[in-house]
Amino acid sequence: MLFIMGLFAPAAQAVVYPDIMLAAFWNSDEDLSDTVYMSYNGKDFQKLSTAYQAVGHGDDTVAGVPSYVHALHDPGLFYRNGTFWMLSGFVQKQAGIGWRYTPMFGSSKDLVHWSYPNSGSATNLKPTVMPAGASKLTDGQYDTAGTDGFVDDNGDVYVVTTLGYFGSKHGHPQKDQMSPYIVKVKNLEPGADPAVDPGKQPNLTYGDLVPINLPIKANDWLDPSLYKENGRYYLSIKKEGVTNQIFSIRNLKDAQNPSAWTVVNTDVITGYEGPYLAKYKGSYYYYVDKLKDWPPHNYDGTAGVFVMQSDKLSSGWSTPQRITTVDVNGNIIPNRHGSVFTVTSPNAKNVIWNLREQLGYGQYRPGVKGWVTEDGEKYWYDDGIRAVSKEVYDPTSNAWYWIDANGTMAHDKDVYIATAGKWVRYDSNGHMVKGEDYRYGGWYYFDPATGAMRKGIMTIPSNTPVNDPADDGTGKYKPAKPVSGKTYTKTVYYDRNTGQMVHGEAFITDPGYFGWHLFDYSTGAMRTGLQYIAGANKWVYYDPQDGGAMHYGEQYIDDGVHKAGWYLFAMNTGAMFHGDIHLSVGNKWVRYDRETGVMVKGLQRQDGAWFYFDPDTGAMAHGKTWVPEWKDWHEFDKVTGRG
């Protein structure tokens, strides 16, 4: 753990710090650690500390402390009376009293030293009304999922959670039957300074754990959280496993009365979980965690926290954008849902801003904006805050820039911007590259609008015609020359991993382009029609009617360069066939010319003998056959076709 003597000593000149957003997220299914972050724009989060470092591999046991200490899943976070609090909850069976809901509070004065989570109660909480989902279990058991905490204006803390039957805990995922509950916690204080005695349990008084009865009926509610504004409390909660809604109420003591609740938004967003509402700089922010298995028939298996913005709660929410969570070295940290709130307390802001500076993110400089030169290096400031590990737009130069973890401008560098899910490139001037760019021994293409590195099949401008078939091997064929004033395009392929333009053969799985393709060794343009692959010493056919994919089997070709007729291409390699072969379709022997590969028709002399092939079907003649070229009947061998 990091501790710096004098960290919170008064500065020589008092600084009034601006409001800031504070967040706690658990990292991932593999790493269940709880990480604390700050953000000054609601989208980019900078790591301040790890409150509870789990041992990893899906184990929530905290490393380096007594074995009973566990990380807090789906952590709630709030600030009360000089102390930062993090919480979660679980259900346990206690001797002599049965199953009890157990809130777990961890506290910190400095966001660095955290107490061992504890409920502060020997008996914990029994709901006043058993959740309906408990009927699916025996022995009075019930589950909990999604605990969050909220501190009211008078210092009272409200804990919200859901109780009932959580299917995943019993081998039946997505079969939940959970109901929301709320309990008031009074006089919450840490038992001791966690830096001195982290094992001391908190002091508090619990009220009754009562159900929240909402005006909309549902079988499954999960992940409740509270926000307050202008005397009203706003409950964000996930309905039926996928849809996030907002309700409001004037007084939380009426939470059991459905008519006391007002429906604010029945579908803020669907396909996400862990909703959390905050307001910062006049805008609402709604944080949600992407469901791995949504939508049901087209999911990508990924999760992570996204944010939306709006000027009002009922509508107008922006498209979800993935947040970034990074440490002071610019390392990306995975994130899953937790809590985000705006810090307005001067004491709390002093702790956060001073810790941020001590960690190396830079000093807050009120009134400073744009580019500033310090010690010969250029830095970008957003309203007094030095930018780190983020992109910035400078209207003066009309260009985007990337700011590295040390605050300096990136040059000649590729950067992955997680919030937009894109790779971008910055040139020697630090400007975001757009359009074609030659680097690292190859060509790349960056979206003209967003700068995103493009991958896969693309059609781009070309200087020359590219739809000519390959040389016919005679040396006489010459490709078409460009016509002055005429524009051309070409279809190219940028490698799905590296983004570099492909030359030569490539196997592609892009929609509409499945199979082997050939791209010009010089220009990268997709080649179609008959093409000679020198490295494999074979002729193949890339079908222009099938997205340019390599063709297998029979194909009629009339390209104005090669001899018109039927050709045959091997089913495994695509190589043009030469010679005699029996075709099951039509039950016939045919011959593909030894040199050109075209199906032979009519009279042909080969290997010192005459052969005759039907002028329509190409079937080899056997036995007595009329030969138009000779205007006579002729006997051809009934087995070999020799005549």
Same domain, 568 and 583: no
Does 573 share its domain with 583? no
**Does 422 map to a domain?**
yes
Q: What is the mean pLDDT of residues 488-492?
A: 92
Assess if residue 14 is contained within a domain: no
Q: What is the pLDDT of residues 317-331, one digit of tens each?
A: 999 999 999 999 999
Q: Can you give the residue range of the structural domain that contains 599?
A: 579-636
Calpha distance 70→62 (Å, rounded): 5
Q: Model confidence over 513-539: pLDDT tens digits?
A: 999 999 988 889 999 999 998 888 999
Adjacent-strand bridge partners of 2: none
Residue 6 has pLDDT above 90, yes or no: no
Q: Does 3 have pLDDT greater than 50? A: no
Residue 390 bridge partners (DSSP): 403
For the segment 108-132, what is each residue's pLDDT rounded down to a tens digit? 999 999 999 999 999 999 999 999 9
Please, are residues 589 and 579 in contact by the beta-carbon 8 Å criterion?
no
Together in a domain, 325 and 309: yes
Neighbours of 13 (CB within 10 A): 5
Same domain, 367 and 478: no
Instruction: Tell me the pLDDT band of 472, cut-offs 50, 70 and 90.
Output: very low
What CATH number does residue 596 fall under?
A: 2.10.270.10
Q: Are residues 246 and 324 in the same domain?
A: yes
Answer whether residue 477 shows pLDDT above 60: no
Output the pLDDT for position 469: 54
Are 464 and 568 contained in the same domain? Answer: yes
- Domain identity same for 25 and 64: yes
- Which residue, 555, 577, 599, sits at the end of a domain? 577
Q: Is residue 40 part of a domain?
A: yes
Mean pLDDT of 371-400: 93
Question: Is residue 7 assigned to a domain?
Answer: no
For the entire predicted model, the pTM comes to 0.81
**Taking phi first (over 0 means left), then psi (-120 to 50 degrees means alpha), and beta for anything else, what does residue 231 get?**
left
Q: How many domains does the chain have?
A: 4
Q: Say yes or no: 422 and 273 in one domain.
A: no
pLDDT confidence band for 453 (50 / 70 / 90): very high
Asked, for residue 11, whether it belongs to a domain, the answer is: no
Task: Please give the single-letter amino acid code of residue 207.
Answer: G
If DSSP codes are grouped into helix, strand and coil, which group holds residue 529?
strand
CA distance 577 to 598: 9
Distance of CA 517 to the CA centre of its chain: 29
Residue 486 belongs to some domain of the structure: yes
Last residue within a domain, chosen from 382, 402, 433:
433
Q: Report residue 397 CA to chain centroid gap.
A: 31
Examine the domain organization and report whether 130 and 178 are in the same domain: yes
Cis-peptide, bond into residue 103, ω within 30° of zero: no
Both 105 and 244 in one domain: the answer is: yes
Residue 643 counted as domain residue: no
Domain end (from 328, 354, 380): 354
Contact 518, 504 (CB under 8 A): yes
CATH of the domain at 208: 2.115.10
**pLDDT tier at 479, thresholds 50, 70, 90:** low
Between CA 447 and CA 434 the distance in angstroms is 6
67 shares a domain with 156: yes
Bridge partners, 203 (sequence order): 189
172 within a domain of the structure (yes/no): yes
Alpha-carbon gap, residue 470 to 457, rounded angstroms: 21
Clarify whether residues 92 and 136 are in a common domain. Answer: yes
Question: CA dist 301 to 109, 134, 271, 294, Å?
Answer: 38, 30, 12, 8
Residue ranges in 389-464 assigned as alpha helix (H): none
Task: Confirm if 74 and 26 have CB atoms less than 8 A apart.
Answer: yes
The fraction of the chain above a pLDDT of 70, given in percent, is 96
